[in-house]
Structure 1
Amino acid sequence: MAEREGPRLDVPRAPRRALLPSYDPEMFGRFSERIARFLGTGRFLLWMTIVIVVWIGWNISAPQGWKFDEYPFIFLTLALSLQASYAAPLILLAQNRQDDRDRVNLEQDRSRNERSIADTEFLTREIAALRMGLGEVATRDWIRSELAELLKELQEREQDGAAPQESD
């Protein structure tokens, strides 16, 4: 029997090379959260302010040949626009990830609360059953009142002269 040339059907194909680069979405999400956390700090605002002040100061006061961004500071505007165009999506991505975590935490809290309510209702029913059962049991106060009545009855009999006589 002649062997067939070409791909075999019982062997999986080698993966094709993708046209787009692959990346780990979880790693990219963590990276975006770190950037978003940094962009939301006072340290970032301070450094950004210092960079802008130095940039503007240099391009106003430096000699003509050393200036790299002439008035109206087009390169500075471009740099800030580029920074903002990357910062906004990264911040939104970080917010979406936080929303997902909050949603999971909310679902866990809700299920924990449902279990607590079910446990509380069960314990309430058990306490009610115990109270109903204790309604038929002689309590300490009831026994005291019965003994007090018997003692009173014995004292009345003794006073009436009808005290029981001891038999020998």
Structure 2
Amino acid sequence: MHNLPNFVHLHFDKSADELGDIEKRVLAKAHERKIISTDINAAIKAESSTGQRLADGIARVGGSWGFIVAFLLFLVFWCLINTILLTTRAFDPYPFIFLNLVLSMLAAIQAPIIMMSQNRQAERDRFEAAKDYEVNLKAELEVLSLHQKIDMQVLTELATLREEFAVLRRHMEASAGSVSKN
């Protein structure tokens, strides 16, 4: 890391103090030739609480076709039992007031849980975007480094060719001088 200020100046044309935390972290990884971990699932899972994981599970189940079909079957069963089969002794006769209460309570509980899960998904998206930025920045730094290495190699080869050309010209001039003397 002793050469990091030169690395920063070479790639960003500004001092290390002017860089943000993400840029500094990416530069350090690039300078050390280490990869940037992109295992988002493990990072999110490590930071999530039991309640957050439970909210994600409820949102996953509550937002599935399986839940919708099962709940639709439950509603049809409830309506059939209370209108046709139990016409004389229905425990929740038509307009199904108790069913409305159950549905309202379910919606009142399920809605905030789904909102919590959506908020976590938004956090996850922001985290993923930040990781993508880091990976893209590191890739750009690697491309810049490769360009610099290629440029240096080309300059070295040009200097070698100039020297060889100068030696060849001197030999040709010496040969031409010796031929003209004869």
| TM value normalised by structure 1 | 0.64
- By relative contact order (CA 8 Å, sep 6+), the higher-ranking structure is 2
1:137 aligns with 2:160: yes
Partner of 1:76: 99
CA distance in 2, matches of 1:130, 1:64: 92
Q: Which one has a larger percent helix, Structure 1 or Structure 2? A: 2
CA distance in 1, matches of 2:65, 2:137: 41
Partner of 1:53: 76
Cα distance, 1:65 vs structure 2:
4.5
Partner of 1:117: 140
Partner of 1:98: 121
Unaligned segments of structure 1, at least 5 residues: 1-24, 158-163
CA distance in 2, matches of 1:127, 1:112: 22
Task: Find runs of 4+ consecutive structure 1 residues off by over 2 angstroms.
Answer: 62-66, 136-139
| TM value normalised by structure 2 | 0.60
CA distance in 1, matches of 2:69, 2:134: 44
Partner of 1:128: 151
Cα distance, 1:112 vs structure 2:
1.7
Report the number of matched residues: 124
Residue 86 of structure 1: SS of its match in structure 2?
helix
CA distance in 1, matches of 2:117, 2:108: 15
Partner of 1:26: 49
Unaligned segments of structure 2, at least 5 residues: 1-47
Residue 159 of structure 2: SS of its match in structure 1?
coil
Of all paired residues, the percent bearing the same amino acid is: 29
CA distance in 2, matches of 1:66, 1:31: 39
Partner of 1:12: none
CA distance in 2, matches of 1:114, 1:121: 10
Larger Rg: 1
Cα distance, 1:111 vs structure 2:
1.3
Cα distance per residue 1:69-119 (max 9 Å; x no partner): 111111111111111111111111011112112211211221121111112
